[in-house]
Amino acid sequence: MNKRIKFLLPLLVIVIAGATAGYLFWQRTDSNNAGDTLTLHGNIDIRQVQLAFNGSERISEMLFQEGDRVNKGDLLASLDKTRLQDATDQAAARVAAQQEVVARLKAGTRREEIRQLQAEAEAARVTAANAERTSRRLAELTTQKLTAQEQADNARAAADAAKAKLRAAEEALRLAEAGPRKEDIAAAEAMLKADQAQLALVQRQLSDADLYAPADGVIQDRLLEPGDMASPQRPVYTLALTDPLWVRAYVGETDLGRIHPGMRAAVHTDSFPDKSYDGWIGFISPTAEFTPKSVETREVRTDLVYQVRIFVCNPQNQLRLGMPAVTTIDLSQASNENAAQRKPCGDR
């Protein structure tokens, strides 16, 4: 009997120790997610934008430093505009000149020019008539042997030349009265459109010489300085957007079915332990991943989790990128998938 007790005693101790450890582990893992409350641990996350000029030129001025808060539309930096301004002025002059060409063609021939051509045609008509009469008289005199044949031939040639000039003057008058050809007007208008497009292009390049903030945020990095050569491939600033702002947390598969987009949440941080920030679940990842290095422990190192974004209001700008945060979700909330849509914090 004593031998049996000695044999069973170590086994009983092992069973009791295992049961105790399992109970303590269950208590530890369930303490945060007991009842109708789910607690998630994560970090504050935001979006970042790399801001660069849409052109290549030397930077003339940088207006903000790291840590400066900017609003959407604020001028952040500018390029040297001398070359771009000259190109814009040249293109504008070409457009103005071509506009005058189109206007002249559409207006047609001026009345004064038509009257001038009419007068020239009348003068040519008189000259031709006079030359014809002279040629006839000399022809008669030649028949009567009263003048040389050469003089009659010269008079005939002069009369023919006068008639040709008359026909040319009449044709010029008809062309002036008809006005420019439609094809000439169309070609001039097409050239004007090409010049206007070139002007719009250089004006856009001139506008791109100024860099504006695309949204509200904080200058995180100032990467270039005045005198540096900027290009679309070289960021000038890194802008940390202040809206939207969320907590990046991870939920296990066993708790995945207990949450849904739109559920309201309360966010707390160690930096401001007495303050609660309003939040709501805005995104639940459709794919699983292994527990990230930044939050893993020995117990959950190989567990599969799903990323959750809890959007959070930050009215006093106290939350910072990477700040640890604890999110508490009341699981008794009614399901409302439409609440997942992004709304201003004032509406929450």
Q: The whole model's pTM is what?
A: 0.62
Same domain for 112 and 164: yes
Q: Is residue 326 part of a domain?
A: yes
Q: What is the C-alpha separation between 284 and 13, in angstroms, rounded?
A: 44
pLDDT at site 23: 41
Residue 27: phi and psi, rounded to 5, are -65, -40
Residue 238: phi and psi, rounded to 5, are -110, 120
pLDDT at site 15: 47
Q: Nearest-CA neighbor of 296 among 247, 245, 246, 252? A: 252
Neighbouring CB atoms inside 10 A of 193's CB total 11
Same domain for 324 and 182: no
Half-sphere exposure of 102 (CA within 13 A, CB side): 15
Q: Nearest-CA neighbor of 327 among 70, 32, 97, 54? A: 32
Q: What sign does the dihedral 130-136-139-140 (CA atoms) show?
A: negative
Same domain for 232 and 190: no
Q: Is residue 13 part of a domain?
A: no
- Which residue stretches of the chain are H helix? 2-31, 82-107, 111-143, 149-178, 182-207, 253-256
Q: What is the pLDDT along the chain (348 residues), one digit of tens a residue?
A: 454 545 455 555 554 544 444 444 344 444 444 568 899 999 999 889 999 999 999 999 999 999 999 999 999 999 999 999 999 999 999 999 999 999 888 777 667 776 787 778 778 787 878 778 887 777 777 777 767 777 777 778 887 887 888 788 777 777 666 667 778 888 999 999 999 999 999 999 999 999 999 999 999 999 999 999 999 999 999 999 988 899 999 998 888 888 989 999 999 998 888 899 999 999 999 888 876 655 545 555 557 889 999 999 988 888 888 899 999 999 887 655 444 444 556 544
CATH at 231: 2.40.50.100
Range of the domain at 101: 87-204
Q: Is residue 347 part of a domain?
A: no
Q: Copy the structure tokens of residue 102.
A: 């189109």
Same domain for 255 and 218: no
3-state secondary structure of 48: strand
* DSSP result, 306-343: EEEEEEE--TT----TT-EEEEEEETTSPP-GGGGS--
- Starting at the edge strand found earlier in the chain, the sheet holding 57-62 runs 210-212, 75-79, 57-62, 229-230
